[in-house]
């Protein structure tokens, strides 16, 4: 599916990570990055977050008001914990200190 086709869909079942990486293809600074390996990593993270959410769903069921009775808020909270605490995914705060060169996609 091309980008126009993606825009015409309701995005159910669309792998956003795949399309995000596909859009990065050809950007300066990422020539050495293995996009297929990145996609596999995103898939592993998604599986981990899904499993982590299922294992902790009892917390929402027990105290839904703690999450404003919102399963979506609970899922976002759990995803944040799983990615940051368990998988080490964090925001690079140093990006706020120095101007970012948006012409180079290198990490």
DSSP, collapsed to helix, strand or coil, labels residue 30 as coil
Q: In degrees rounded to 5, what are phi and psi of residue 98? A: -110, 145
pLDDT digit string, tens, across residues 32-86: 888 889 889 999 999 999 999 999 999 999 999 999 999 999 999 999 999 999 9
On whether the pTM is more than 0.85, the answer is no
Q: How confident is the model at residue 4 (pLDDT cuts 50, 70, 90)?
A: low
92 φ, ψ (degrees, to nearest 5):
-80, 95
pLDDT of residue 40: 93
Q: Are the C-beta atoms of 34 and 56 separated by less than 8 Å?
A: no
How far, in Å, are 18, 20, 43, 97 from residue 93 at the CA level?
26, 22, 25, 7
pLDDT of residue 92: 78
pLDDT band at 106 (very low <50, low <70, confident <90, very high): low
Residue 70, pLDDT score? 97
H/E stretch holding 36 reads helix 35-62
Query: How large is the angle between the packed helices 35-62 and 71-81, nearest 10 degrees?
Result: 130
Instruction: Judge whether residue 98 has pLDDT over 80.
Output: no
So what's the pLDDT on residue 86? 96
5 has pLDDT over 80: no
Domain residue ranges in the chain: 3-97
Q: 60 with 67: CB under 8 angstroms? A: yes
Q: Percentage helix, strand, coil, to 5, in the chain?
A: 60, 0, 40
Mean pLDDT for 13-18 is 80
């Amino acid at each position: 599916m091309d980008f126009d086709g993606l825009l015409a869909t309701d995005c159910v079942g669309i792998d956003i990570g795949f399309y995000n990486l596909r859009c990065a293809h050809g950007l300066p600074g990422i020539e050495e990055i293995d996009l297929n390996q990145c996609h596999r990593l995103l898939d592993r993270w998604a599986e981990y977050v899904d499993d982590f959410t299922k294992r902790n769903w009892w917390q929402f069921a027990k105290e839904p008001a703690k999450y404003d009775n919102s399963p979506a808020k609970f899922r976002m909270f759990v995803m944040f914990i799983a990615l940051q605490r368990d998988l080490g995914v964090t925001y690079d705060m140093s990006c706020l200190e120095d101007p970012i060169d948006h012409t180079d996609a290198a990490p």
